[in-house]
Chains A and B, each alone.
Chain A
Amino acid sequence: MSVTGEQRSADPDEVSLAAARAGDRRALDDLLRRHQPRLWAVCRRLTGSDADADDAAQNALIAIVRALPSFDGRSRFGTWAYRIAVNASLDELRRRRRRADPGLPGDADLSGPGAGGGGFEPVATTVGPESAALAADVDAALRRLPPDFRAAVVLRDLCGLDYAEIAEILGVPTGTVRSRISRGRSALAPLLSAGNSDDARRRPTSRP
């Protein structure tokens, strides 16, 4: 469905954005406050740590501010902001890898075959008794995915973006997004099933 300029301008973001671009600091404050929690949530899911998410989110917000004059409004502000947050998170992961943080041994290899959108072999996992709690942790499970797969799954399941938007954010075809989400979920399923099975069984299922 196409959206007219009039319809787009009804978006509260558009109002704040226009004012912010005109130099209204308070409007910018409103705009950023509105998006900051979800942007941080994306950064948190992608980086797997509060501190890295803080750094990534801060970089993202500053990048958003600096890029406001060049934002042409062809995409929704929220989608554009997600794109920047994802980039910031992936950059943060690269920086973390340069630091070789020993506290994050479970991170999937960024240079793995999945990183480029090609083949992806699910990370071998052992969900023993002592690691059941870890397996129940979504962050720990997501950490097992290559970042591009992680981003696709997070943008879909946490942010609720559709495949086209995710494709735009990640710069890949929608078919690649579809594949990454499917294979990412497949890899996550054994990691999360222990922690979620009880909860899942309690939920009414609405599918055949």
Chain B
Amino acid sequence: MTSLEPPLPVPDDDVLDAAASALVDGVATPEEAALVAASPGGAARLAALQAVSEAVGRPGPTQDPAAAASTLAAALAAFDAAGTGQATGGDGPDPDQAAHGPRPSGLANTAVPDLASDGDAPGSASPGNDEDGDGREAADEGRGNVHALTPRRGSPTSVRWLPRLGAVAAALVLLVGIAVLTVDLLGKAGDSGTSTNDVAAGPTSVAAAPPGVAEGGAAMARTDVMPSMLLDGGSFGNETAVEAIALRAAAALDNPPVPGPADALPPTSDLQRCLDAVAATMTNEVLGTLYQAEGTFQGVPALAIAYDRVGDPPRLLLVLARSDCALLERTPF
């Protein structure tokens, strides 16, 4: 690739771009892949659209904490106003913030469009208006309706978690209010004194990090949330495309063979070592089953680690060099 400049937008480019965009998303047909490969500008267009996808996918600004608290307070106030709330604790925002918080436009406690209602429900968004001229009123379009979707994920393994769900909820409650959470995949057995067995009881194993565990002396609260299961994906062979590894991981996580318990992982293994190396970079992530595989990635002996997380997309793939655990790829998928 020598340039990301796209070719001039002639009509044929629509077809090429459609194929390249489908390749970016991993949904291209063989014909589309062949079209991109055979077109003189195909590689450049693919790179350009891939760059666009990555740029849009990069995390943008985050909400001002005060505004975020106010937003949440307004929602909880709406809950309270509906008369369904239970007094279950006081660590949430004060509902009064809804009226007095630093909302930029004072929308708290004001009428809110019924964005989730059926199209013909009263109170729908922008009732009677079609100001965007697209002939589709938001409510009439039924975008607020709930329909069955083909789930992107769902693991039979998760059935095993059912008895632990109550504890999961409790663990999540414990996480509320912590300014920065760092998730340590398999524990800092080596440097924090927490043994693997201490934290391998399942996804509900939440071990508050001992003082001083934060690396570099940073005053950072750490909470370790451990996977319940390890899923050995074997070898992914010799790959150059991280997407191929992600597909393999997704297939395994969606239809896993019987995984082994997390505490079966030898603390001295490459995986444990590399998890320890990268754990500090992982925040706000809760693990269930951890997929691991090994192979060669772009010529480098590597480990692949994938897991479900609390985030969108809901899975993350890490490809790490076996030699020094350097992060080669980090791909949400």
Contact = CB atoms under 8 A, between A and B. Distances in A.
Contact of A192 (B51, B62, B168): B51
A83 to B, nearest CB: 6
Interface stretch (B107-115, B206-214, B256-264, B267-275): B107-115
Interface stretch (B125-133, B184-192, B193-201, B230-238): B125-133
B134 A148 contact: yes
B169 A165 contact: no
B56 A153 contact: yes
B48 A54 contact: no
Contacts of B255: 1
Interface string B132-165: 1111101001111011111110111011011001
Contact of A32 (B64, B72, B152, B159): B72
Given A44-B61, A185-B21, A29 B241 contact: no
Contact of A76 (B86, B105, B149, B333): B149
Interface residues of A, number: 120
Interface in A8-61: 8-12, 15-16, 19-20, 23-30, 32-34, 36-38, 40-41, 44-45, 50-51, 53-55, 57-61
B63 A54 contact: yes
A6 B76 CA distance: 29
A196 B310 contact: no
B47 A25 contact: no
B151 A3 contact: yes
B75 A158 contact: no
A8 B1 CA distance: 44
A131 interface: no
B286 A29 contact: no
A79 interface: yes
B88 interface: yes
A61 B155 contact: no
Contacts of B173: 26, 30
A73 B320 CA distance: 37
Q: Which of B53, B58, B71, B152 has the most CB of A within 10 A?
A: B71
6 contacts: A28-B79, A34-B310, A54-B105, A62-B112, A65-B79, A186-B21
Interface of B: 1, 3-6, 9, 13-14, 17-18, 20-25, 27, 36-37, 43, 46-64, 67-68, 70-72, 74-76, 78-80, 82, 84-89, 91-93, 103-105, 107-108, 112-117, 125-126, 129, 131-136, 138, 141-144, 146-152, 154-156, 158-159, 161-162, 165-166, 168-169, 172-173, 176, 240-243, 254-255, 286, 298, 310-314, 332-333
